[in-house]
């Protein structure tokens, strides 16, 4: 039996099935499968950005909800929500969310294409959306520093970095939402537009 080599999270940014994730989630995969409504659907890797740890995939899926991406980068102390599948499906196959705030405007080693947050990002969250209450993506969750080195230090790739990469690959995002969403609507968006990815 073939087993999944690794797993991570991705999120839809177009109705035609474009998915954003981390490069390291899909690196060296023979096949990438998207878990969508109980089906495993193979995705094509369209573009990768190793430096910023980003990838664009496309699957034959027409999601009912997709994320818009913020036009401006996060601000210090801004409230954010991380969504994804931490620890794969070991805990449960339900989507998990963590709330936190932006704690620094640079990532590890003064990397200004990233920001730091205290919203928990666990293994398996990689590639998931970091969003605001408006439902706009302000970052892509990236690998954490191992717990023995630091507590509550997590990183996201900034939306401007994501936009530059997407524009270079002719992917256009939906315009961002201007008003806050109710938790119920935001929950629906997160549930419908975030997917579990497996690398085979």
Q: How far apart are CA 167 and CA 182, in angstroms?
A: 30
Is 126 noted as a catalytic residue in this protein? yes
Exposure b/e, 135-167, CB count within 10 A at least 16 = b: bbbbbbbbbbeeeeeeeebbbbbbbbbbbebbe
* Whether 110 is catalytic: no
Residue 13's closest CA among 169, 193, 170, 161? Answer: 193
Q: How many CB atoms lie within 10 A of CB 177?
A: 16
Both tokens assigned to 60: 């034959």
- Catalytic, 98? Answer no
Q: Which of 7, 18, 23, 53 is catalytic?
A: 53
CA angle, 114 as apex, 110 and 115 as ends, to 5°? 90
Beta bridge partners, 122, equal: none
Query: Which residue is catalytic, options 14, 70, 113, 126?
Result: 126
From the list 18, 23, 24, 98, the catalytic residue is 24
CA distance 176 to 4: 34
Strand duo 6-12 + 194-199: pairing: antiparallel
**Residue numbers annotated as active site:** 24, 53, 126
């Amino acid at each position: 039996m073939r087993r999944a080599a690794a797993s991570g999270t991705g999120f839809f940014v177009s109705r035609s099935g474009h998915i954003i994730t981390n490069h390291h989630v899909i690196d060296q995969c023979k096949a990438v499968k998207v878990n969508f409504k109980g089906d495993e659907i193979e995705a094509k890797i369209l573009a990768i950005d190793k430096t910023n740890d980003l990838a664009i995939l496309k699957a034959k899926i027409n999601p009912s909800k997709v994320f818009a991406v913020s036009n401006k980068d996060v601000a210090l102390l801004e409230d954010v929500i991380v969504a994804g599948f931490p620890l794969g499906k070991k805990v449960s196959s339900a989507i998990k969310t963590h709330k936190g705030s932006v704690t620094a405007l640079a990532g590890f080693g003064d990397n200004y294409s990233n920001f730091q947050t205290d919203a928990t990002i666990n293994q398996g969250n990689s590639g998931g959306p970091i969003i605001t209450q408006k439902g706009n993506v302000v970052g892509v969750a990236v690998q954490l520093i191992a717990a023995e080195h630091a507590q509550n230090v997590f990183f996201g790739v900034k939306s401007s970095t994501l936009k530059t990469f997407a524009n270079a690959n002719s992917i256009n995002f939906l315009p961002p939402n201007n008003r806050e969403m109710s938790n119920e609507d935001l929950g629906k968006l997160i549930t419908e537009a975030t997917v579990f990815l497996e690398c085979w």
